[in-house]
Amino acid sequence: MAAFVTGGSGFLGGVLIRTLTKAGTPVRALVRSDAAKAAVLKNNAGAAPALTFVTGDITDAASKLSPSMEGCDVVYHCAALVSDWAPLADSLRVNVTGTQNVLEAARIARIRRVVHVSTEAVLADGNPIVDVDETAPRTAHPLGAYPISKGRAEEVCEAAVRCGLRLRRDAWL
């Protein structure tokens, strides 16, 4: 089973890559830059040959991303613009359009399963978040660009599921 991972230079993506490669799963990590590649390598010393790199960006067109996914069994979409201060347009471009691109690339590459990483921030409205899971409804009043964009990315995922994609909606960390 081979995995394609976006966001491998981040905390969650880094832990995921380390876990997968230690289990012997071949991983293709999407990296935007040499700095991102160096961050992944630093967190995954000794992972070769289970770890290979693909240069690209989730904001690239799906047709550019899909050849890199071919032959993988699962896509873990961990990449996101996580910022309290980013302009809404930037958050939407990365978190919504990027998710659309990843899902479409997975469809083109005939990936069997996609795991989309979301955030509890889609539930945050100023009240405590208690006793909830991924089935809880998103707030009607998200607090900022990040939760707005991640909520819309979840909507993109829900639409893809209605079109037949096998998608797991877990991993709120």
What CATH code is carried by the domain that includes residue 100? 3.40.50.720
| Catalytic machinery residues | 146
Q: Is residue 7 within 8 Å of residue 13, measured between CB atoms?
A: yes
pTM given for the model: 0.91
Q: Report pLDDT digits (tens) over 34-76.
A: 999 999 998 887 767 789 999 999 999 999 999 999 999 999 9
Distance CA 120, CA 134 (A): 9
Strand duo 27-31 + 51-55: pairing: parallel
pLDDT interval class at 97 (50, 70, 90): very high
Inside any domain, residue 173: no
Domain count, the chain: 1
Instruction: Match 């230079």 to its residue by tokens.
Output: 9
pLDDT classification of 173: cutoffs 50, 70, 90: very low
* Cis peptide bond N-terminal to 49, omega within 30: yes
Q: Which domain holds residue 163?
A: 3-168
Kindly state whether residue 133 falls inside one of the protein's structural domains: yes
141 belongs to a structural domain: yes
